[in-house]
Amino acid sequence: MVFLTISPAAWAADVRILVQSSALAGFRYYAGETLWQEMREGDRLSLVREADNPHDANAVRIEWRGQKLGYLPRAENRAVAAAMDAGEPVDARIARLRQHKNPWQRVLIEVFVVL
């Protein structure tokens, strides 16, 4: 029989549940091209809700170190926007970076709900 001991610090750690994995929309229109060489897989991203966005009422802006990279894709942003509107903590990171001629294939974003 094996017993697992969990330290108090481990109990205090946040639990993150992956709720979305998406390409970054708008990469070529914002700071992504300029910042490409500095970004790394695993880097934390900020999600900013833009409820007053004239193009998409569910818009969720993606930022890296305070720089706008783009958005969650419009077809996939409703659940994350609703969670943010309800005050649920969400977190995001760069899951994958790829050199690709199609800008939609360059940055993969993962979004987590934080418990």
pLDDT in tens, 36-58: 789 999 999 999 999 999 999 99
Tens digits of residue pLDDT in 11-33? 556 788 899 999 999 888 877 77
Q: CATH top-level class for 14-114? A: alpha beta
- Can you tell me the distance from the alpha carbon of 28 to that of 82, in angstroms, rounded to the nearest whole number? 26
Tens digits of residue pLDDT in 88-114? 999 999 999 887 677 667 789 999 988
Give the chain's mean pLDDT: 86
Q: How far from 88 is each of 5, 80, 83, 115, CA to CA, in Å?
A: 30, 9, 5, 9
Q: Is the pTM of this model over 0.75?
A: yes
What are the boundaries of each domain within the chain? 14-114
Query: Are the C-beta atoms of residues 14 and 115 closer than 8 Å to each other?
Result: yes
pLDDT for res 27: 81
pLDDT for res 111: 94
